[in-house]
Amino acid sequence: MSTIDTEQTTDNTDSGAPIRRLAAWDTDSLCNLAAEFETPLYVIDAQRVRENCARLLDAFPAATIRYAIKAHSGQAVLKVIRDAGIDVECASAGEVKAALAAGFNGNRIQYTAVNPPARDLDAIINWWQENKQLTITVGAADTVERLQERGFDGRLCIRVNPNVGAGHHEKVTTGANAKFGIPYERVSELATQWATEFDLVGIHAHAGSGISGEDLSSHEELVRRMGTLARTITECAGSLEFVDVGGGFGVPYRANDPPLDIHTVAERTRDALGTVDATLAIEPGRYVVADAGVLLTRVNTIKSARETTVVGVDAGMTTLLRPAMYDAYHEIENISASPTTDSMPVTIAGPICESSDIFAEGRSISAPTRGDIIAIGTAGAYGYEMASTYNARPRPAEVIYDDNTAKVARRRETRDELDVLETSSDEHSVSLSSVVSHSHSSVAPESTMSSSSTGDTPPGGESQ
C-alpha cells in the first residue's frame, strides 16, 4: 500500500459525468504512481467504478444488472461492483471462481457457456452443488446434454442467436455470429422440452461489444425479437424469470466523441422489449470499468525515422492488445511534459517484435524525452484482461486507489515466474505408441476429473 497522496488524482468537477476523459486525471498524481510502482502500470479508480454502477442502476431501476466479468476480473474491482449491488455474468469457469472468491453468492452469478471445455463444466457443476441458485446459460443443445450427463437439473437460461449484431469491430459483433447461441427459430421448441427437465428461468442474447448511438437501432431490433420470443415461450412453456438482452454499451474512446446517453438507451430498450411477464436483464462490462482505468508507460527510445519519429515505450501489445487486435483508438498524452511544451506528431511503439505493436501513428503529443511518462486513457476494460506473456515478457502491475490511498491490486509478474510451468523431460512422459493409439479413437472421452484435480478449487476450500 502506498502513502502517495491521491486526493487530487481526479478532477472533482468531472465526478459523476457520463464519461471521464484522459484530461480529467491529475497528471502529477499519475506520475507519482508511476515512480512508486514502476511501469508499465495500470491504474484503476474505485470511485469511478462506483459512479458508473450508480448511473446504470439509476437508468435501469427495475432491471437485473449483471456485470460482464471479462471486461476486468480483478478482485479489487469485483468487490466494488458487488458492494454497489450489481450481479455478475461469467464466460468461463475461471471467471465463476473469481466471482465466488469476491463474495458473490450463487444467486448473483450467471455462467454463460460458449463451447465449454469439459474441465470447465466439471468445475461449474461442482460449484453448483454448493450454490444451487447459480444460473447456467447454454448456447447449444449439445451443451445441455453434457450438463445432464453431469447431473445438472437446475436454473437454465437459453442463449439465442437472433441474427442481429452490432459493435465497434467485426471481431466483437456476436448477435449474428453462428458461434453464439441457438438459432432464434429453434428456441421455442427446445424451451418447451427443457422446461420439463430443468428450471427454465430465462432467455439471453447479446448483439456485440462497444455499441454506440449509431448502433442502437440494431440493439432495439434484437430486444424487440427477444420480447416476441419471450411471449411465445410463456404461452408454450410457462413463464420466465428474466429476458437478458446483453450489454455491449459503448464508451467514447476519442476525446471529441459524445458519451452514450444511457437513460435514452434504457428507455428505448424497455420500449423495444414491450410487455413481458419477466424482468429485463442487461450485462454491461466495458461501461462499468473502461474510463475508470489508465495505462502508464515510460519512454525509453526516441528515433528519427524516414517519415516519422518513433517513440518507444515499455508497454506493448502484450500489455494492451486492443490497438493491435481491433485497430482501437485510445487517447494518449505525455503527462511528464509541461503545458508549454510544443506538440509533435509521433508513432508510439512498444518493445514487442511485431509490426502490429503500435499504439498510435501520426499522433500529436507534447514532444517527449527519454524517461517521460505516457498515459493511455480509457484502459480499464479489456486491458489487463487481454495481457499476455508473448516474447517472454511478464505482465504488468495494477494499482487501485480509493479513499486517497493507492495499493497494489495485481503485482508485477517476474521473469522467473514465466518458467514455473516448465517441467523436466522425464517428469511426465508416455509411450509414443499409446499416444498414437488414443489419437485414432473416434471420440475422446469427456473429462470426469473433479474440480480439485483441475486446479479449480472452490474459494475457501483446499486442494485434495
Where residue 355 sits, what CATH number does that domain have?
Answer: 2.40.37.10
Domain total for the chain?
2
* 146 domain residue, yes or no: yes
The last residue of one of the domains, among 290, 306, 334, is 290
284 is in an annotated binding site: yes
Which 3 state secondary structure label does DSSP give 241? coil
Cα 164 from chain centroid (whole Å) = 21
For cell 472468491, what's the residue? 101
Determine, yes or no, domain membership for 363: yes
The amino acid occupying position 93 is: A
pLDDT score at 431? 75
Q: For the segment 170-217, what is each residue's pLDDT rounded down to a tens digit?
A: 433 444 567 779 999 999 999 999 999 999 999 999 886 656 666 688
Q: Nearest 5°: phi and psi at 50?
A: -60, -45
Q: Evaluate whether residue 110 is within a structural domain.
A: yes
Q: How many CB atoms lie within 10 A of CB 75?
A: 15
Confidence of residue 461 (pLDDT cuts 50, 70, 90): very low
Residues 247 and 102 in one domain: yes
Mean pLDDT score, 452-463: 52
Q: What are the cell numbers at 352?
A: 514487442
Q: Is 353 a catalytic residue?
A: yes
Instruction: Judge whether 210 lies within some domain.
Output: yes
Give which of 95, 46, 34 is closest to 385, Cα–Cα. 95
Same domain, 178 and 273: yes
Tell whether 271 and 346 lie within a shared domain.
Answer: no
Which grid cell sits at 170? 467485426
Read off the pLDDT of each residue in 335-356 and give the average, rounded to a whole number: 97
pLDDT, position 11: 43
Residues facing 65 on adjacent strands: 282
Reported as a single tens digit per residue, the pLDDT across 49-90 is: 999 999 999 999 999 999 999 999 999 999 999 999 999 999
Do the domain assignments include residue 458? Answer: no
Instruction: Check the annotation: does 384 bind a ligand.
Output: no
51 plus 102 within the same structural domain: yes
Q: Confirm if 89 and 426 have CB atoms less than 8 A apart.
A: no
**Catalytic-role residue among 53, 157, 236, 353:** 353
Instruction: Give the domain extent around 362.
Output: 12-43+291-414
Residue 60, classed as helix, strand or coil, is coil
Kindly report whether the peptide bond that precedes residue 339 is cis, defined as omega within 30 degrees of 0: no
Binding residue per annotation — 390? Answer: no
Q: What is the largest CA-CA distance in the chain?
A: 71
Determine, yes or no, domain membership for 432: no
- Residue 461: helix, strand or coil by DSSP? coil
Q: Is 247 known to sit in a ligand binding site? A: no
Q: Is there a binding annotation on residue 286?
A: yes
Average pLDDT over residues 348-376: 97
Q: Is the dihedral angle over the CA atoms 326, 327, 329, 335 positive or is it negative?
A: positive
Identify any residues that bridge with 309 across adjacent strands, giving them in sequence order.
Answer: 304
Share of the chain above pLDDT 70, in %: 84
CA-CA distance, 4 to 33, in Å (whole number)? 7
In a domain, 320, yes or no: yes
Is 323 marked as binding a ligand? no
Side-chain-facing half-sphere of 175: CA atoms under 13 Å? 30
Q: Alpha-carbon distance 438 to 360, whole Å? A: 48
pLDDT tens digits, 253-285: 999 999 999 999 999 999 999 999 999 999 999
Q: Give Cα separations from 128 to 13, 69, 97, 112 (angstroms).
A: 45, 18, 11, 14
- What residues does 312 pair with on adjacent strands? 301, 349
Average pLDDT over residues 280-308: 97
Say which residue, 90 or 422, is predicted with more confidence.
90
CATH of the domain at 271: 3.20.20.10
Q: Is 322 annotated as a binding residue?
A: yes
Which among 171, 157, 326 is positioned nearest to 246, based on CA atoms? Answer: 157
Rounded (10°) CA dihedral 272, 276, 278, 281: 0
Grouping H, G, I as helix, E, B as strand and the rest as coil, residue 349 is strand
Task: Give the pLDDT of residue 464.
Answer: 34
CA 346, 258, 336: angle at the middle one, nearest 5?
35
Section 307-319 average pLDDT: 97
- Cell, residue 349: 511503439
In a shared domain, residues 199 and 341: no
- 268 in the same domain as 186: yes
Domain limit, last residue, from 227, 262, 290:
290
Q: Do 347 and 281 share a structural domain?
A: no
CA dist 9 and 49 (Å) reads 15
Residue 425 confidence (pLDDT): 64
Shared domain for 213 and 264, answered yes or no, is yes
**Bigger pLDDT: 424 vs 9:** 424
**Confidence at 453, pLDDT banded by 50, 70, 90:** very low
Q: Is 354 annotated as a binding residue?
A: yes
Q: Which residues contact 200 (CB under 8 A, 6 or more apart)?
A: 156, 157, 158, 191, 194, 237, 238, 240
How many Cα atoms are found within 13 Å in the side-chain-facing hemisphere of 21? 11
Which region holds residue 167: left if phi is over 0, alpha if psi is between -120 and 50, else beta?
A: left
Q: Is the CB of residue 280 less than 8 Å from the CB of residue 315?
A: no
- Alpha carbon separation from 290 to 19, 207, 305 (Å, rounded): 9, 19, 33
- From the CB of residue 277, how many other CB atoms can be counted at a distance below 10 Å? 12
Q: Are residues 230 and 114 in the same domain?
A: yes
Does any domain span residue 82? Answer: yes
Is the pLDDT score of 402 beyond 80? yes
The answer on 383 and 310 residing in a single domain is yes
- 464 DSSP 8-state letter: -
Same domain? 297 vs 379: yes
pLDDT of 8 reads 43
